[in-house]
Amino acid sequence: MILKPQDVYILLKLVAIGEAPWSYSRMAGALWMSPSEVHAGVKRAVKARLASMKQDRVIPNARNLEEFLAHGISYVFVPELGEVTRGMPTGYAGPVLAPLLQASDDLPPVWPDPDGEVRGQAFTPLYKSVPQAARQDAKLYALLTLVDAIRGGRAHEREIACREIKKKLKHDADT
């Protein structure tokens, strides 16, 4: 079994929706994926112990997910940086970290998106439909940008992103 980037994308959506009921078809629609892709991703996440089944519900394993995001994701799902393009801000330029960090003269990392309003350096998302899903779900957008800061940020950005992810996962585990 090999974990795929979309499995993390699916897990982050599960964290974002919290206790709300969901189905594979609704999740697929929200993530712009097929239901079979979501089902396969959930199965891999459970097998990797990043989620567990509890009373016919899939629950992200906050502790394992936090550990994987903090210490593994930057080695497993390395982002590709591309040309200057229009897109949606991610990483340190995303909604969680931008207010916490001093502005830089560097072009911000962006997910390439024709509907994006920011010019920046292309940064490959975990899955091709990330910009569309993030535009519809602010919680998911925040989580994805924090993960991208860990995947491709500088040491200080990664440290802050890990701290923020921990808060969001702890809050989810406490509710």
* 5: nearest Cα among 117, 153, 147: 147
Tens digits of residue pLDDT in 70-84 = 999 999 999 999 999
Q: For the chain, what is the mean pLDDT? A: 93
Q: How much is the pLDDT for 156?
A: 93
Residue 86 and residue 51 share a domain: no
Q: How far is CA 160 from CA 9, 48, 57, 173, in A?
A: 20, 26, 31, 20
In the predicted model, is pLDDT for residue 10 greater than 80? yes
How far is the C-alpha of 111 from the C-alpha of 125, rounded, in Å? 6
Do 102 and 152 share a domain, yes or no? yes
User: Are 167 and 100 within one domain?
Assistant: yes
Residue-level pLDDT at 54:
87
- 150 compared with 173, residue with greater pLDDT: 150
Residue 43's domain comprises 5-74
Q: Are residues 85 and 140 in the same domain?
A: yes
Residue 86 and residue 165 in one domain: yes
Same-domain check for residues 95 and 143: yes
Same domain, 129 and 92: yes
Domain tally, the chain: 2
**The pLDDT value given to residue 102:** 81
How confident is the model at residue 175, as a pLDDT? 44
pLDDT over 90 at 164, yes or no: yes
pLDDT at 43: 96
Q: How confident is the model at residue 105 (pLDDT cuts 50, 70, 90)?
A: confident
| Average pLDDT, integer, range 41-68 | 94
Measured distance CA(144)–CA(139) in Å, rounded = 9
pLDDT tens-place string over residues 12-51: 999 999 989 999 999 999 999 999 999 999 999 999 999 9
3-state secondary structure of 75: helix
Pair 83, 68 in one domain: no
Looking at the structure, do residues 121 and 88 belong to the same domain, yes or no? yes
Indicate whether 173 pLDDT > 70. no
For the domain that residue 40 is a member of, what is the CATH number?
A: 1.10.10.10
Instruction: Kindly state whether residues 65 and 108 are assigned to the same domain.
Output: no
Domain boundary among 19, 54, 74: 74
Q: Which of 74, 98, 117 is the last residue of a domain?
A: 74
Please indicate whether residue 68 or residue 171 has the higher confidence score (pLDDT).
Answer: 68
